[in-house]
Structure 1
């Protein structure tokens, strides 16, 4: 599997999240999928873990979204894949930049969050699958009502 196929899959996963097609996003993830959102706190001098789920935890999160009070409007992810490096015959690691833009109900768009994706990709099958995604945010103030993954 080449780097271009992996990058297309990462872009496709972002499009699925933009559309809130969470089932479609999960189809792009492996059976042992893990997801976390982390940010380094200079005040604490350490990394903070804001969210950490396995595949079932993510599916439960998505199932509960309709019951949460959420920010109104839409999110759009701008993803740029920086590198795809092979670990071995079955795995690759991809590093990407991600910008999350929020557009409110009045049509005003603002940068909401900036960070990176660190993805572990299973390349053994016909199509690549995300095994692990670590989102490392630079942004540390997201405000209330954010329940969708970055």
Structure 2
């Protein structure tokens, strides 16, 4: 139970920091060798599509450019539910699969709509200093995201 609680707390923090646009806080939850991907399967071409792939340093650069981007600044809220927690091949690593839903709420609390659904496929390193993300693949079912979303899910 303690393992699942630790994993749940880390994934929740990643969602909360992104929801709050706290990009340094998000990066602090990631290992130095962290790798991030957004992918989706296209039935039309019968292949996986890789939409974004960034190292921790590349994500930092992306986050630093966000204030200069012409983008939709409507707040996003991420919700997750853990499906599985399994050993990841190394003693101090686990692989976690979670359901992901991303919602968009209009400014001043107007309507809320679903932006995307998919899965987080995370590799997490557990250590004496806590847990950190080593790898995250956001595997989206939604393929039509509209314009202006430059923030990782």
Q: Which of the five TM-score ranges fits, normalised by the shorter chain?
A: over 0.9
Q: Cα distance, 1:47 vs. partner? A: 0.3
Rounded to whole Å, the distance in 2 between the matches of 1:144 and 1:57 is 22
The two structures, once aligned, show a CA RMSD in angstroms of 1.1
Structure 1 CA distance for aligned equivalents of residues 11 and 37 of structure 2: 16
* SS class of match (2:135): strand
1:57 pairs with 2:63: no
1:104 deviates by 1.8
Calculate the TM-score normalised by the size of structure 1: 0.96
- Mapped partners of 2:45, 2:72: distance in 1: 28
- Matches of 1:27 and 1:71 in 2, distance apart? 25
Q: After superposition, what is the alpha-carbon deviation per residue over 1:40-85, rounded to whole angstroms, capped at 9, x for unaligned?
A: 0000100000000001110000000000011131100011111111
> Structure 1 CA distance, aligned partners of 2:125 and 2:86?
12
Show the counterpart of 1:47. 48
Q: Secondary structure at the match of 2:107?
A: coil
3-state SS in 1 of match to 2:130: coil
- TM-score relative to the length of structure 2: 0.94
Following superposition, the deviation at residue 89 of structure 1 comes to: 1.6
Q: Which residue of 1 aligns with 2:100?
A: 98
When structure 1 is superposed on structure 2, of 26-35 and 81-90 the one drifting more is 81-90
* Structure 2 runs not aligned, ≥5 long: none
Number of equivalent positions: 150
CA contact (8 A) 1:72 1:104 kept: no
Runs of 4+ in 1 over 2 A off after TM superposition: none
Question: SS of the residue aligned with 1:79?
Answer: strand
Give 2:119's match in structure 1, choosing from 108, 116, 121.
Answer: 116
Farther-moved stretch of structure 1 (60-69 vs 82-91): 82-91
